[in-house]
Structure 1
């Protein structure tokens, strides 16, 4: 019995499909991370892009492992929830690292949430659910960009040196 994990470059998914899914994860990760980059936050374009790419790769790896093991004479079970849980836990760990508490305020929550979402978008891309990924990324962009204006106007927040500060000019 040959070990397909070491000796084969064959995949059940065509290479073009794999490239499309990984490319979509990268592109949508950029779309989510651009807001954080513009605001000079710790996790910007590259972080969101890599988070989405990694999540997509985990999904594709799970699909490929299932396909390669299914050809053997043993019973194989695939639980997609385990992949989702693993990606969610890993990304949540990274996102938590961007959240800091200093002088009575918490910073980095939006960046952490963006990274978590980039992981979900990447997972959707890797699993082949590109429609779900695109819709999720579009919602993220709508939340991040226009809602900043709403926060600024309705809640009195203003930008000082790349950070949101309350407007004390009441």
Structure 2
């Protein structure tokens, strides 16, 4: 029965990750719907498995020392590898792209970890906040910088996060 609860948590994390991934998919980013779902689900599964293993070995007492944050560190390291791939997958002309998508992968992994620890309200709230950042702040950037509205400039393509790649120290 506990395993089914973990599966439910994985499904919930995948739905939350999918919501963020859908936004990335609409923007045609290197990691979209499926990738975000899988990252969130994997994080929830790893934390859920840790909880199940610990519950099964409660009788070991002092022999078993656990630091739940070590697993979180492992999740972050795995996501960093995937995120690095999204940053370099886009353009070969020297422009930096994919940083926001890499950050969303870290967020969905964190959301998955939250679900794995049973922090469902925190996970749902963080999903909403992430969508708020991705949508409302993007609209604000476009309003503040109408010359950047996603159109490539003469010398290079715009960065995904809206920052100017020609600024000093940005290359």
Give me the TM-score of the superposition, normalised by structure 2: 0.81
Query: Cα offset for 1:99?
Result: 0.6
Whole-Å Cα distance in 2 between the matches of residues 123 and 73 of structure 1? 25
Quote the residue 1:22 is aligned against: 10
The equivalent position to 1:41 in structure 2, one of 29, 38, 57, is 29
Please give the alpha-carbon distance, in whole angstroms, between the structure 1 residues aligned to 2:35 and 2:6: 21
Distance 1:36 1:73 in 2: 45
Unaligned 5+ runs, structure 2: 163-171
CA contact (8 A) 1:158 1:164 kept: no
Structure 1, gaps ≥5 residues long: 1-10
- Number of residue pairs matched? 153
TM-score (norm 1): 0.81
Match of 2:130 among 123, 140, 145: 140
Equivalence for 1:60: 48
Say whether the 8 Å CA contact 2:7–2:45 is kept in structure 1. Answer: no
| Counterpart residue number, 2:107 | 117
Counterpart for residue 120 of structure 2: 130
Residue pairs, 1:77-92, within 5 angstroms: 77-92=65-80
Q: CA deviation at 1:62?
A: 0.8
Q: Deviations over 1:65-88 (max 9, x none)?
A: 111122347621221110110001
Cα distance in structure 2, aligned partners of 1:125 and 1:55: 9
Whichever structure has more strand as a proportion of its residues is 1
